Amino acid sequence: MHVVLEMHDRVALVTLSRPDRLNAMDSEMGRLFDRVMVEVALDDQVRAVVLTGAGRAFCAGADMQRLSDFSQSGEGPTLPERGKAQGKYQALEGIAPPELLNRYSAPQAIPKPVIAAINGPCAGVGLALAVMCDIRLASRNAYFLAPFANRGLVAETGLASSLAAVVGFAAATDMLLSARKIFIEEALRIGLAQQVHDQSTLVEKAVAYADEMARLTSPRTGGIIKRQLWRARATSYADALADSMDETRACMQTEDFREGIASFKEKRPPRFTGR
């Protein structure tokens, strides 16, 4: 299996698994990835997701044989129609904005925390997946690469926008135009990674972090906060404020809100239900 799903209590661990190809994305892996991501998005037992790679890489990008075939034939991949859900992601219509309902936006479409555990090289469409995750933990030997300019390509999968939202316009410009490797020290400095861990403990740390979120935060409000953050990228402060007021009023009518207040007053961990 090119994509492996394991459950750790309330945390879904999703592993890209073509280690002999540095987990490069081919058609089969893509189809399996789509199926698994939709599955964890819709499973109420899943409260958080960790995405990682098998072996020594996170994801080296698109499979080079596939790119070579495209370059020889002059034909590119079939791309989704703008603003329409792609394939299996139609199952998430109404859950996430339509522009997120595709393979490389999937981590942002899932209404739950998605943590990338970047265990090695993270390049091309692998980088696109990583920046769409909510939080990125990385190993000391990880590096990040946007090689498009070296391949005669533009920034794919909306990366000019998503990367700039994570690291800022200047750093994104540097990465995309220079096509140079960003090693872990610089990645931490520009916000491309939030934490660094030893390779041997990275996934364990990521699962523990995700489990803490799963135990201590409301699944309902987590999804709404992700949606608020996404909207904030393209809205004014006034619109973001109005949206937050509407969502706050709705939250105050929920069981999770009452439980959050009660657990604080009673000095105990909350028992959220998502209602």
Regarding whether 192 and 103 lie in a shared domain, the answer is: yes
pLDDT value of position 68? 55
Regarding whether 234 and 175 lie in a shared domain, the answer is: no
Q: For residues 188 and 200, give the distance between their C-alpha atoms in angstroms, rounded to a whole number.
A: 19
> Do residues 156 and 124 lie in contact, with contact meaning Cβ atoms separated by under 8 Å?
yes
Look up the CATH number of the domain holding residue 60: 3.90.226.10
- Greater confidence (209 vs 156) lies with 209
**What band does 200 get if pLDDT is binned at 50, 70 and 90?**
very high
- Per-residue burial over 134-167, b = 16 or more CB atoms within 10 Å of its CB, e = otherwise: bbbbbbeebbbbbbbeeeeeebbbbbbebbbbbb
Residue 224 has pLDDT above 70, yes or no: yes
Residue 89 lies in a domain: yes
Percent of the chain with pLDDT strictly greater than 70:
91
pLDDT value of position 75? 52
Residue 101 lies in a domain: yes
Residue ranges making up the domain that contains 53? 3-214
pLDDT value of position 119? 98
Regarding whether 188 and 231 lie in a shared domain, the answer is: no
Residues 5-23: tens digit of each pLDDT: 999 999 999 999 999 999 9
pTM: 0.88
Residue 129: phi, psi to the nearest 5?
Answer: -65, -45
Regarding whether 226 and 202 lie in a shared domain, the answer is: no
Regarding whether 102 and 45 lie in a shared domain, the answer is: yes
Residue 76 has pLDDT above 60, yes or no: no
Beta carbons within 8 Å of 172's beta carbon, 6+ residues apart:
160, 163, 164, 166
Kindly state the DSSP code that residue 131 receives in the 8-state scheme.
Answer: H
Residues 109-166: tens digit of each pLDDT: 999 999 999 999 999 999 999 999 999 999 999 999 999 888 788 888 889 999 999 9
Residue 240 lies in a domain: yes
Domain count, the chain: 2
Residues 227-262: tens digit of each pLDDT: 999 988 876 667 766 777 788 788 778 888 888 888
Residue 273 lies in a domain: no
Regarding whether 222 and 143 lie in a shared domain, the answer is: no
Q: Are strands 11-16 and 3-8 parallel, antiparallel or unpaired?
A: antiparallel
Regarding whether 259 and 138 lie in a shared domain, the answer is: no
Residue 275 lies in a domain: no
Residue 165: phi, psi to the nearest 5?
Answer: -65, -30
Average pLDDT of the residues of the chain: 90
Q: For residues 126 and 129, give the distance between their C-alpha atoms in angstroms, rounded to a whole number.
A: 5
Regarding whether 230 and 104 lie in a shared domain, the answer is: no
What sign does the dihedral 23-109-231-47 (CA atoms) show? negative
Residue 275 has pLDDT above 70, yes or no: yes
Regarding whether 108 and 43 lie in a shared domain, the answer is: yes
Q: For residues 19 and 44, give the distance between their C-alpha atoms in angstroms, rounded to a whole number.
A: 30
Regarding whether 152 and 44 lie in a shared domain, the answer is: yes
Query: H/E element holding 50?
Result: strand 48-53
Regarding whether 232 and 195 lie in a shared domain, the answer is: no
Residue 272 lies in a domain: no
pLDDT value of position 85? 83
Residue 271 lies in a domain: no
pLDDT value of position 72? 52
**What band does 267 get if pLDDT is binned at 50, 70 and 90?**
confident
Residue 182 lies in a domain: yes
pLDDT value of position 237? 64
Regarding whether 200 and 225 lie in a shared domain, the answer is: no
Two tokens, residue 21 = 């190809």
